[in-house]
Amino acid sequence: MRHLISPLDFTVEEIQKLLDLARDIEKNRSKYAHVCDGKKLATLFFEPSTRTRLSFESAMLSLGGSVLGVSSASSSSAAKGESVADTIRMISCYSDIVAMRHPKEGSAFVAAQKAGIPFINAGDGGHQHPTQTLTDLLTIYSLKGTLENMTIGLCGDLKFGRTVHSLIHAMVRYPGIKFVLISPPELRVPDYIREDVLDAHNIEYRELTNLEDAMAELDILYMTRIQRERFFNEEEYLRMKDYYVLDTDKMKLAKEDTFILHPLPRVNEISTEVDDDPRAAYFKQAQYGVYVRMALIMTLLELEVE
């Protein structure tokens, strides 16, 4: 039985197979409409979500399966003090596969150890968000035709942004990847990402505070919001929240084929005027999230169609 806790749980070859399956699903939806007949997905979300939870549920319904779950800690027995370990043991009796989001780093690891069914980390605190990474990889692959030889700008809250941490982990395995890390000094990527991931893989990167200085060299610009829920101090959040705003003037500095990604939700960091730019790919990215989660559910349940 396999789980997905980190993007590194799949080899590069396995990720390629999953992306190819997702692309086939996109083109041939009806072929996959009954592959999960009789199967149940549980979604356990102890932190707010729109895209991840609903795209998982949409994915399972599109595969012919059904869904059950909780959308907040307050509506489950977690509010009475039940542990993640006990909750997962219960859910394993009620469903065939489970996706969980939890505010605590490491909760996914604990849950996977107790799960009697395939377990998917749908985000654990500021740590990892591997299914967002699969979504990001499918988006980049579909837009660029490759995951190799490109310069990726990551902009915003690189300290708390778990999508950024997961994406860096995943992309360092491809040749010719360079990063430009654009953040306020207080929100730089954690030391363990810089030392254990970037330096350990001899990845070329530089750190900047000014977005304009990077625009012209980027193939992908991955914007992120400032993660209000991870700040201890509201004043500090208010000081940071509008640090970056991507607008049409800044887009003029970018190449014609620089695509803009964002895991969403957006707050102020991308002006809505950018939405009409053909390089704005973040809503398409959310759509890819359904296809890649369909492919992931099939892969973890070891289901195939002829």
- Residues involved in catalysis: 51-52, 80, 101, 129
Q: Is 264 in the site for ligand CP (CB under 6 A)?
A: yes
- Judged by CB under 6 A, the chain residues 85 through 114 that form the site for ligand CP are none
- Judged by CB under 6 A, the chain residues 122 through 141 that form the site for ligand CP are 123, 132
In 23-137, DSSP assigns E strands to 40-45, 66-70, 97-102, 119-124
DSSP codes joined into one string, 161-182: -HHHHHHHHHHTTSTTEEEEEE
User: How far is Cα 222 from Cα 143, in angstroms, rounded to an integer?
Assistant: 14
Q: Which stretch binds ligand CP (CB under 6 A): 73-81, 186-194, 250-258, 263-271?
A: 263-271
Question: Roughly what angle, to the nearest 10 degrees, separates helices 107-114 and 84-94?
Answer: 50
Q: Is 262 in the site for ligand CP (CB under 6 A)?
A: no
* Residue number, 7 or 263, with CB nearest to ligand CP: 263
Closest CA to 144 of 188, 123, 174, 114: 174
User: How far is Cα 282 from Cα 157, in angstroms, rounded to an integer?
Assistant: 17
* Residue number, 116 or 265, with CB nearest to ligand CP: 265
Closest CA to 46 of 132, 123, 159: 123
Burial class (CB in 10 A: 0-12, 13-18, 19+), 71: middle
Q: Is 52 in the site for ligand CP (CB under 6 A)?
A: yes
Q: Is 49 in the site for ligand CP (CB under 6 A)?
A: yes
* Residue number, 119 or 205, with CB nearest to ligand CP: 119
CB of 264 to ligand CP, least distance (A): 5
CB of 123 to ligand CP, least distance (A): 6
Among 3, 39, 40, 51, binds ligand CP (CB under 6 A): 51
CB of 156 to ligand CP, least distance (A): 13
Nearby residues of 49 by Cβ (< 8 Å), 6 or more positions away: 71, 101, 122, 123
Among 11, 28, 50, 248, binds ligand CP (CB under 6 A): 50
Binding residues (CB under 6 A) for ligand CP: these are 49-52, 123, 132, 263-265
